[in-house]
Copies of this chain bind each other. A is one copy, B any other.
Amino acid sequence: MNVLEKIVNSVANFSKSERKVAEVILANPQTTIHSSIAALAKMADVSEPTVNRFCRRLDTKGFPDFKLHLAQSLANGTPYVNRHVEEEDGPEAYTAKIFESTMAALDSARHNVDINAINRAVDVLTQAKKISFFGLGASASVAHDAQNKFFRFNVPVVCFDDIVMQRMSAINSAEGDVVVCISHTGRTKNLCDIAAIARENDATVIGVTAYDSPLARECTLVLSLDVPEDTDMYMPMASRVAQLVLIDILATGFTLRRGSKFRENLKKVKDSLRGSRFEKKDSPA
């Protein structure tokens, strides 16, 4: 974990003097990495051993080691420690924070995805007779996006964001069909029902959802994205971006599995759009 975040998170465990050190470091992290322990101690108005103890408390070997960790945190372009948008944030601040928190969420997701599950999902998808993407609310747009991607593969693909249509589609599913249910929380009752119905009708159900959720229990295969919940905003944000990236990954895996000849097909689809577009000045007539 990012050292800066770690400082913020463990501020509760700090003593009064250690907190002073934390404040100084958070206020000028860039200066800190070029300071000696003596200089930093002076800035925070504490003694040198206090700074040293502060470093140890953050699981670093000592002050030099701490500076190393800090330098790495800063290098990743993570100036904002507190990524949560706050009341008084101006456009610059909230723009940066949202970009950063999204990137952080993706990074977290990246380290948590189960590659084997992805591989199996790609397996299943490549062999599907028909692929259905179901999502409700915020996840509906992810389902649409998935449809847009898989549609290009010239595979029978449908997408519904309407419970009734989803239900009908699920009831009509058969062996060899793949149903992908998308839900961040995995607690949407209707979608759980759909998953159950699809399974009863011998379809393979892939859940893009949280592991330990009612929806997950109804699925044949679960693709979980451990993205930290966006607690402060009352909207799904980062989690949904992670879902989209997961769809990208599945689509990519799909094309790779199908081989190079198949990819020419993709190009054809893209070229077909040309008529509906204005030509680029520099592109061939």
- A51 an interface residue at 8 Å Cβ cutoff? no
Copy total for this chain: 2
Give the docked Cα–Cα distance between A256 and B92 (Å).
13
* Tally of chain A residues near chain B (CB < 8 A): 82
Give the docked Cα–Cα distance between A94 and B246 (Å).
11
Contact A245 to B64, CB < 8 A, known contacts A77-B107, A141-B142, A189-B276: no
Contact A149 to B106, CB < 8 A, known contacts A33-B68, A94-B252: no
- A20 an interface residue at 8 Å Cβ cutoff? no
Give the docked Cα–Cα distance between A187 and B144 (Å).
22
Residues of B within 8 A of A69 (CB): 71
Residues of B within 8 A of A249 (CB): 94-95, 98-99
Residues of B within 8 A of A255 (CB): 233
Within 8 A of B (CB), among A249-285: 249, 251-253, 255-256, 260, 263, 266-267, 269-270, 273, 276-280
User: Contacting A187 at CB < 8 Å: which of B115, B240, B277?
Assistant: B277
Q: A75-B75, A91-B116, A234-B263 are in contact. List 20 more A-B contacts (CB 8 A).
A: A34-B68, A67-B68, A68-B68, A72-B72, A72-B74, A76-B76, A76-B77, A85-B252, A91-B122, A95-B115, A98-B245, A137-B148, A138-B148, A152-B235, A189-B276, A189-B278, A234-B267, A235-B248, A235-B266, A241-B245
